[in-house]
Amino acid sequence: MGDAHKDTTYWDRVAVSYQRHTRIATTDFHYGPLLEGDRLLGLLPDRLKGRRCLEVGCGAGQNSIYLARKGARCIAFDVSQRQIDIGERLARRCRVMVDYRCRSMETLPDNKLGRFDLVHSVHALAFVRDQAAALLGMARMLKNGGILLLATSHPLAAAEPVRIGHRRMGMLLTDYYHPEPDRRGGRRGWPEVCAVTLPFGDLMNAIVAAGCRIDRIEEPEPPPIPEMSEAAVRRSIPYESRAWRERYPLLVAAPYTLIVRAVKLTAA
Ligand SMILES: C[S@@+](CC[C@H](N)C(=O)[O-])C[C@H]1O[C@@H](n2cnc3c(N)ncnc32)[C@H](O)[C@@H]1O
């Protein structure tokens, strides 16, 4: 990791602890906390060998490493240099080539990079101010017929748990159309970031406006983790942490992750 680098962004500051406290597999493609990976969900294109793939908001790029292991040619972007540094080391350890770049998804499209067969992103879009513009930028990086595979915060992720009566828990969403941003950092000298969930229709319409045809929408329910052995959890769940396991009762009550797969139709 470059010592000269200053942790200027929230993501730089949390990168090491995020990667240390989250188990993110490189042997499956993950979509979100406590969810099964692509081996079970089956959203990735069939043939990956030789495919050009672009990941945006990659963190350490475990999904790109997985795709590179399948023979794909991968570029991975993240706004945090610390995340990129960790990713580069991880890719070396996994003996695969991923071309990591420290840049914002808000700078897309980039004609110099050419067009991709797959543009994918997991839980990064919600941190961008203008999500429709970022989606348009991602779609413009796709070849016609290429796949956009997006996992992002479900609109119900903005809901707060509430107790109803004696034993039951429910979810309270005070304003679906203008949800309270999920603010992180912002205290004791930390930079702040916030995630904003889009209403379902706004997200779908932004993908369609970017020239894509939506062909799958998934709101996966986590598998029954409390009944599973640790070995089964490790085998089937590629993204988890102790903190996420504590939130399991909420994640089975309402979806946290929304997955959309779309096909690029036109040169929007
Ligand atoms: C919750 S983490 C998810 C990382 C990774 N996709 C994963 O599943 O582990 C969100 C990531 O989005 C990145 N990010 C936030 N804003 C970004 C932007 N404008 N452009 C690119 N990456 C961004 C952060 O640096 C962070 O690595």
pLDDT tens, residue by residue, 80-100:
999 999 999 999 999 999 999
CB 121 within 8 A of CB 241: no
Instruction: Tell me the mean pLDDT in the region 231-237.
Output: 96
126 is a domain residue: yes
Confidence of residue 163 (pLDDT cuts 50, 70, 90): confident
Residue bearing the CA closest to ligand 1, atom 23: 57
Pocket probe mutation, ligand 1, options 58, 74, 119, 152, max atoms within 8 Å of Cβ: 58
Does residue 98 lie in a domain region? Answer: yes
Beta bridge partners of 56: 77
What is the percentage of the chain residues whose pLDDT exceeds 70? 96
From 10, 13, 21, 80, give the residue whose CB has the most ligand 1 atoms within 8 Å, as the site to mutate.
80
Name the pTM for this structure. Answer: 0.94
CA nearest neighbour of 147 among 16, 43, 220, 20: 43
Q: Give the pLDDT confidence of 3-60 residue by residue, as tens digits.
A: 445 556 899 999 999 999 999 999 999 999 999 999 999 999 999 999 999 999 999 9
Please state the φ and ψ torsions of residue 87, each to the nearest 5 degrees: -60, -45
Query: Two tokens at 249?
Result: 């009762």
Q: Is residue 161 scored above 90 in pLDDT?
A: no
Which residues approach ligand 1 with their CB closer than 6 A? 11, 24, 56-59, 77-80, 83, 104-106, 122-124, 127-128
Report the pLDDT value the prediction gives residue 3, as an integer from 0 to 100: 44
Which residue's C-alpha comes closest to atom 7 of ligand 1?
59
CA neighbours closer than 13 Å in the CB half-sphere of residue 49? 0
Find the domain containing 105 and state its range: 10-264
- The domain tally of the chain equals 1
- The DSSP result for 188-236, as a single string, is TT--EEEE-PPPHHHHHHHHHHTTEEEEEEE-PPPP-GGGS-HHHHHHH
2 within domain boundaries: no
Please indicate, yes or no, if residue 169 is contained in any of the structural domains: yes
Which amino acid is it at 2?
G
Whether the link from the prior residue into 109 is cis, omega within 30° of 0, is yes
Query: What CATH number does residue 239 fall under?
Result: 3.40.50.150
What confidence score (pLDDT) does residue 234 get?
95
Residue 3 placed within a domain: no
Q: Counting atoms of ligand 1 from 1, which one is nearest the CA of 30?
A: 8
Please tell me the distance from the alpha carbon of residue 163 to that of residue 237, in angstroms, as a whole number. 29
Q: What are phi and psi of 30, to 5 degrees?
A: -100, 155
In a domain, 5, yes or no: no
Q: Whose CA is nearest to atom 18 of ligand 1?
A: 104
Q: Indicate whether 153 belongs to any domain.
A: yes
> Can you give the pLDDT at residue 184?
85
The residue whose CB lies within 8 Å of the most ligand 1 atoms, and thus the one to mutate among 11, 34, 197, is 11
Specify the higher pLDDT residue, 1 or 244. 244
Query: Does a structural domain hold residue 4?
Result: no
Output the CA 102–ligand 1 centroid distance in Å: 11
